[in-house]
A and B are shown apart, each in its own frame.
Chain A
């Protein structure tokens, strides 16, 4: 599904910063992976590269058979739209659009007709239990509801992978647990989910934990029984 080979990334500047120093990683379809590391370990950079939001200097990145290298802005936008569902720490909903419009937006950029995309958006909102909130603006929703709207938006294009950047970072422990439960269910349905986090409580709910340190993979830990780890306890 996702193949990284000796990936390097340096931020140019007054003092060039070599952030990623050779990442080699394979993620198979249907995996539930977390990338963990302290701040400055390069995990966000890695997530940006995985999400085709940033480019890399050296190495190889193949996403679902497609080499991701030197893409035009439009091509990158298309790939992001069709292959990747993003979930962000601070939700990143568009404040003046209601939940339904926010969820439907990726389909708008695909050129899907208004009627069809609104119907699909409503379907996804219903699945996440937000049907009656469909016409509310983001600031009328709670944090957990906002994140669920964001998840609906990430899912609506039927992406190949879900990339979540600290998805519980702005939520309390109870709603965090809900969101993690949701992601776990998605994975159970066969979706490949990658979570970037610095919280071990979140990481240990996934099946595979990639520890990142100073731009290299320190270790890859198989977590065979994620449900054995009581989420709420570890959050503290």
Chain B
């Protein structure tokens, strides 16, 4: 297949009119560059967005109290109500399709200190099974366990930022004590959770302690802040949310149509929203990129038409001295493909370099981003280019084939 002569011919004809070839190639180059760069950029943005949800189970949801805005069942409007620890068991019984149902306590705006270091922190009280909702990504030590809860231990798992600010000089903070709100907790683990969506603020600056410890220290009694839940396999959180809501409304005598009485966060819906947002962006990127690419291909086709016209005599001579129609066909097709693919490849390379640059700059600013296109996409893009190149070559090749040797030779 590799025929040196053929390649030499192609190279000869392409380089014969360098500036024209370059300008033609630029159309393709720009199209591919736009497509790859925008795709990489869109993908990177998606990943940046997704990092906000990092570690959160997609099939999870949270419920929080609101304000009962409507008078209902003998209660006046504007009533305060609270979620109770008993609601957890109630939900487990009434909605068996829920896998994990777990209470979450929270105290915002706390200050965590150790020696002279201090930082803002959110204190969170959870059960060990909370790990089913948000993967704690333990990097050192361990997560909370059942005996921590049963014995009301003052132990904590700290987020990455807490660890970095309170223990700048210590690699492993496990066993050390930190102070939050005047109470000392022993660090048992470090979490690398990075979600920002977590109902209790950024996970990186969270101090997680056992639910029981939290409830006792802050005199919460049976009141809880929030309930987190996940759906069993085969069920979606979207189908379970109404059941959860109904159960809680009944238990707390809330008006069925009182939207503000109860707050439900459906992670699945949030994920879906982000997904459809980026699907939209993707479609746009493809439209722009392919549109530019198409006009580039038409440019190639156009120039090849002119080239064939210019080379009428030459093609006629070749036919006269024994070139088969297929020789002419492959020659023109190959020229158009080589031009397209070369231009496209340089577009890919340029876009990849630029994306790498963006990534490096963002990394230097401490953002973990990946904008780079995948290898598979690159292969796909190259295949598309080959296809485009051959499509661009069809019309000029047909014109070249229509050239009759006599006409060409007589043409003076």
The secondary-structure label for the interface of chain A is helix
Q: Does A80 lie within 8 Å of B322, measured CB to CB? A: yes
> CA–CA, A72 to B321, complex, Å?
16
* B167-183 Cβ-contact flags toward A at 8 Å (1 or 0): 00000000000000000
**Pairs across A and B, CB under 8 Å, 11 listed:** A53-B405, A53-B409, A54-B406, A74-B325, A86-B321, A88-B409, A92-B316, A93-B317, A106-B321, A108-B5, A109-B324
The secondary-structure label for the interface of chain B is helix
Interfacial chain A residues near B327, Cβ < 8 Å: 109
Query: For residue A75, which residue of chain B has the nearest CB?
Result: B324
Q: Does A114 lie within 8 Å of B4, measured CB to CB? A: yes
How many cross-chain pairs have Cβ atoms below 8 Å apart between A and B? 62
Q: Does A106 lie within 8 Å of B322, measured CB to CB? A: yes
8 Å CB contact of B314 from A53, A77, A94, A157: A94
Using known A-B contacts A92-B313, A96-B12, A96-B16, determine if residue A110 contacts B322 with beta carbons closer than 8 Å. yes
> CA–CA, A82 to B240, complex, Å?
82
Interface membership of B46, Cβ < 8 A: no
Q: Does B317 lie within 8 Å of A80, measured CB to CB? A: no
8 Å CB contact of B318 from A51, A73, A78, A105: A105
Using known A-B contacts A90-B412, A96-B12, A109-B327, determine if residue A77 contacts B322 with beta carbons closer than 8 Å. yes
Residue count of chain A within 8 Å CB distance of chain B: 29
Interface membership of A81, Cβ < 8 A: yes
Q: Does A74 lie within 8 Å of B326, measured CB to CB? A: yes
Separation in Å of the A222 CB from the closest CB of chain B? Answer: 30
Separation in Å of the A226 CB from the closest CB of chain B? Answer: 28
Interface membership of A227, Cβ < 8 A: no
Interfacial chain B residues near A110, Cβ < 8 Å: 322
Interfacial chain A residues near B353, Cβ < 8 Å: none
- In chain B, residues 385-411, which have Cβ atoms closer than 8 Å to a Cβ of chain A? 404-406, 409-410
Query: For residue B319, which residue of chain A has the nearest CB?
Result: A77
Interface membership of B263, Cβ < 8 A: no
Interfacial chain B residues near A142, Cβ < 8 Å: none
Interfacial chain B residues near A5, Cβ < 8 Å: none
Query: For residue A54, which residue of chain B has the nearest CB?
Result: B406
Interface membership of B22, Cβ < 8 A: no
Query: For residue A82, which residue of chain B has the nearest CB?
Result: B322
8 Å CB contact of A81 from B5, B322, B412: B322
Interfacial chain B residues near A54, Cβ < 8 Å: 404, 406
Query: For residue B314, which residue of chain A has the nearest CB?
Result: A94
Interface membership of A139, Cβ < 8 A: no
> CA–CA, A80 to B321, complex, Å?
6
Interfacial chain A residues near B322, Cβ < 8 Å: 77-78, 80-82, 106, 109-110, 157
Interfacial chain B residues near A10, Cβ < 8 Å: none
- In chain A, residues 62-99, which have Cβ atoms closer than 8 Å to a Cβ of chain B? 73-74, 77-78, 80-82, 86, 88, 90, 92-97
Interface membership of A39, Cβ < 8 A: no
Q: Does A92 lie within 8 Å of B409, measured CB to CB? A: yes
Query: For residue B315, which residue of chain A has the nearest CB?
Result: A94
Interfacial chain A residues near B12, Cβ < 8 Å: 96-97
Q: Does B412 lie within 8 Å of A53, measured CB to CB? A: no
Interface membership of B320, Cβ < 8 A: yes
> CA–CA, A44 to B410, complex, Å?
10
Q: Chain B contact residues (Cβ within 8 angstroms of A): what range? A: 20 to 34
Interface membership of B49, Cβ < 8 A: no
Instruction: List 14 other contacts, CB 8 Å, given A80-B320, A97-B12.
Output: A54-B406, A73-B324, A73-B325, A74-B325, A74-B326, A77-B325, A81-B321, A86-B320, A94-B314, A96-B16, A105-B321, A106-B321, A109-B322, A109-B324
Interface membership of B323, Cβ < 8 A: yes
8 Å CB contact of B321 from A44, A48, A90, A109: A109
Q: Counting chain A CB atoms within 10 Å of each CB, which of B5, B322, B405 scores highest?
A: B322
Q: Does A94 lie within 8 Å of B324, measured CB to CB? A: no
Q: Does A77 lie within 8 Å of B412, measured CB to CB? A: no
Interfacial chain B residues near A82, Cβ < 8 Å: 322
Interface membership of A153, Cβ < 8 A: yes
Q: Does A48 lie within 8 Å of B313, measured CB to CB? A: no
> CA–CA, A80 to B5, complex, Å?
22
> CA–CA, A109 to B314, complex, Å?
15
> CA–CA, A114 to B2, complex, Å?
13
> CA–CA, A93 to B16, complex, Å?
16
- In chain A, residues 82-133, which have Cβ atoms closer than 8 Å to a Cβ of chain B? 82, 86, 88, 90, 92-97, 105-106, 108-110, 114
Interfacial chain B residues near A106, Cβ < 8 Å: 321-322
> CA–CA, A9 to B321, complex, Å?
23
Interfacial chain A residues near B317, Cβ < 8 Å: 92-94
Query: For residue B322, which residue of chain A has the nearest CB?
Result: A81
Interfacial chain A residues near B313, Cβ < 8 Å: 92
- In chain B, residues 1-27, which have Cβ atoms closer than 8 Å to a Cβ of chain A? 4-5, 12-13, 16
Interfacial chain B residues near A53, Cβ < 8 Å: 320, 404-406, 409
Separation in Å of the A55 CB from the closest CB of chain B? Answer: 10
- In chain B, residues 237-254, which have Cβ atoms closer than 8 Å to a Cβ of chain A? none
> CA–CA, A171 to B16, complex, Å?
29
> CA–CA, A80 to B318, complex, Å?
11
* B283-325 Cβ-contact flags toward A at 8 Å (1 or 0): 0000000000000000000000000000001101111111111
Query: For residue B325, which residue of chain A has the nearest CB?
Result: A73
Interfacial chain A residues near B323, Cβ < 8 Å: 77, 109
> CA–CA, A105 to B314, complex, Å?
12
Q: Counting chain A CB atoms within 10 Å of each CB, which of B13, B317, B320 scores highest?
A: B320
Using known A-B contacts A96-B12, A96-B16, A114-B5, determine if residue A153 contacts B321 with beta carbons closer than 8 Å. yes
Interfacial chain B residues near A81, Cβ < 8 Å: 321-322
Interfacial chain A residues near B13, Cβ < 8 Å: 96
Query: For residue A92, which residue of chain B has the nearest CB?
Result: B317
Query: For residue A79, which residue of chain B has the nearest CB?
Result: B322
Separation in Å of the B397 CB from the closest CB of chain A? Answer: 14
